[in-house]
Homo-oligomer: A and B are copies of this chain.
């Protein structure tokens, strides 16, 4: 049988009430007594039964997810996964609220973050926009002892407790490796298609991609990045134009979320050219394109895992508990035609 609070009390020679005061860091215990109790806790190896504690506390975890507006498939998926998590709220004692802010708008994000002070919030997950003022706002929340995790896009240098997302530099390097190897020594140009270079994850992917390309595939030349703003129309136009303007393009890396436009352009203009294409995010569109051979590989982050991981980490952090690091590492999924789920 695992030890309980009664065992601590007996071992330390104090009463239950004192044990409770120590455990829940309530005032009214002399330092000597406190140390005696803490020693007893260590000695008998007590670990608090979180389930029982939560039951007694009637604990619920009011969590806030701050998500950017955005009508691309990935964001839709992310919203859907958060809503999924909401349906499990009663089972998991969470109360999840979504706060929607304009995308790529630091002041709006800062306002949303600052508005949380004083509210009953057990944890905050946000898709970070990389800006000093956002970093400061996050740090203010952490200072106010509110657990914060970044989701999808990190905020390095801030005090956020955890990042639930993939390593985007590694993702870029991996894309370069796949594209380079798939092209098997051929010589030619590579077009990179991004949403916006203002977003940290897009910048990081490009950084990793360009670095590896330069280092290991010198026969492949990177063309200037096309910024499609993750908009199907714009993206489609840019890609069609690029393909029409050059016959040297043999590969495309789409590192943003504008794949609908890319695929449309490829079907219209790219057929029969033997283009090798690596894209990000598995959606119904990229899945279909993988299957029909329009796209050769898709790098993906599982939004469901990211959301569930964020919830677990926020709850654990709110309870002052640790978590299993390996379980919370978000992996970069690589899909080809043959390992689609």
Taking Cβ atoms with an 8 Å cutoff, the residues of A that contact B are: 2, 47, 49-52, 54-55, 88, 90-91, 167, 170-171, 173-174, 176-178, 181-186, 208, 212, 296, 302, 304-305, 308, 324, 326-327, 329, 331-334, 336-339, 341
Contact = CB atoms under 8 A, between A and B. Distances in A.
Contacts of A331: 331, 333, 341
Contact of A174 (B55, B296, B336): B336
Closest 3 CB pairs of A and B: A184-B184, A173-B338, A51-B51
Nearest to A3: B90
A246 to B, nearest CB: 22
A337 B216 CA distance: 12
B339 A171 contact: yes
Given A2-B90, A305-B327, 20 more contacts: A51-B52, A51-B54, A51-B55, A55-B55, A174-B338, A174-B339, A177-B337, A178-B336, A181-B181, A181-B182, A183-B184, A302-B326, A304-B326, A304-B327, A308-B324, A308-B327, A331-B341, A332-B339, A334-B334, A334-B339
A8 B181 CA distance: 63
Q: How many copies does the complex hold?
A: 2
Contacts of A341: 329, 331
18 contacts: A2-B90, A47-B90, A47-B91, A50-B91, A51-B51, A51-B55, A55-B55, A170-B339, A171-B339, A173-B339, A174-B339, A182-B184, A184-B185, A208-B338, A212-B338, A304-B326, A331-B331, A332-B339
A176 B50 CA distance: 47
Nearest to A171: B339
Nearest to A51: B51
Contacts of A334: 334, 339
Contacts of A171: 339
A3 to B, nearest CB: 9
Contacts of A183: 184
Contacts of A55: 49, 51-52, 55
A116 B178 CA distance: 48
Contacts of A296: 181
A332 B335 CA distance: 9
A88 B324 CA distance: 10
A296 B182 CA distance: 12
Could you say which of A2, A51, A167, A296 has the most chain B C-beta atoms within 10 Å of its C-beta?
A51
A323 to B, nearest CB: 11
Contact of A338 (B2, B170, B338): B170
Contacts of A47: 90-91
A176 B47 CA distance: 49
A195 to B, nearest CB: 21
Nearest to A89: B2
